[in-house]
Chains A and B, each alone.
Chain A
């Protein structure tokens, strides 16, 4: 099975690398598609849990192995991005206040997504778990610990966690390129926004940005890695003392608003 999984991984990687970086334009907007997008697409086609006929080539348990390896597999990339924080230290330190403040920007998650969940889709307390954070491992563990495994909050965070697993990284390789194309934001602000606390999303986001701004690769990945490191260090603290109390209050306000209508 390891041999077959290895072969499938090799095919996906080689296909992605051979297709290479593609730029697609429509209506004045240009999206940069990196090989990672194509490697992901080929990987999905080879995955027996997605494309059933593949069961003949690859046992479905291969998915378990690849999934359990993912948290380690992303680490060489994190190391590569972080190594440039030192040489770029002056640029990073100059943006120190911005780096700290943008952690609060993670509240944007809840501000934007919770009204949609509650008002448009009529979700209950599931909305708290679904929208209080980007819902990766840290958030999942925290919600399960606080509200318990069978709670509506846990159902909410689990659902977003699954979505993140299925299309989170792909999302973070499209959106930065689209937003960068609009030309409104300073690329350094976008690089800091890439540091979401999820290693693979940060990696996809910052390598895509680096491809959009050639010549500034090291500065941009260093900022993304700094921001990601900061989220990793402060994320739980901010969740306990800021985000979750605010999420509870925001939820009550939205519910009251919904009942009045």
Chain B
């Protein structure tokens, strides 16, 4: 087997195992929160898994020119677009999946994924840079919200 094929298989295995783990945690999050009908949730999560894997495969197949975020998003848009064969079925399956229950595991990964280096440089940089960062995040949000608000009002929609 060539090195390139081996690398692709390694990447695929990594995506499959991580996606599987996240979907398992997402199921746990539905069960613990008591939201949704569990067999229906499982079917919905399988659909999400298929979309994610397809997105990564397309990212690699196109030579990593665009980030996986764009491809996963694009596949998901296509999978739910009115008129696309099977879109109604996909939307039906995903109806059972709860937004809040789906994001909860992401934050568990984020919190447990803080490395010693991250924590050290956060402490070393001190309060100054944290305050700047708060303004950066706030600026991004409020800047976009203001422009969007003006555009909505101007268009009268």
Contact = CB atoms under 8 A, between A and B. Distances in A.
A188 interface: yes
B112 A85 contact: no
Given A42-B111, A98-B155, A84 B80 contact: yes
A211 B100 contact: yes
Query: Which size class do A's interface residues fall under?
Result: 35 or more
Given A12-B111, A43-B107, A85 B116 contact: no
Query: Which size class do B's interface residues fall under?
Result: 35 or more
A76 B19 contact: yes
Contacts of A162: 118, 121-122, 125
Interface in A194-242: 194-196, 199-201, 203-207, 210-211, 217, 221, 225, 227-229, 232-233
Interface string B50-83: 0110011000000000111110111111111110
A85 B66 CA distance: 20
Given A63-B113, A74-B109, A166-B118, 16 more contacts: A12-B108, A17-B29, A17-B101, A21-B100, A47-B114, A67-B113, A67-B115, A73-B106, A75-B22, A82-B74, A84-B80, A102-B147, A112-B138, A113-B132, A186-B152, A199-B69
29 contacts: A17-B33, A18-B33, A36-B104, A63-B115, A67-B114, A69-B22, A70-B113, A72-B56, A75-B56, A75-B69, A79-B51, A83-B94, A85-B76, A85-B80, A101-B148, A102-B144, A105-B143, A112-B138, A130-B132, A134-B136, A134-B137, A135-B136, A137-B67, A163-B122, A163-B130, A186-B152, A189-B152, A193-B143, A203-B103
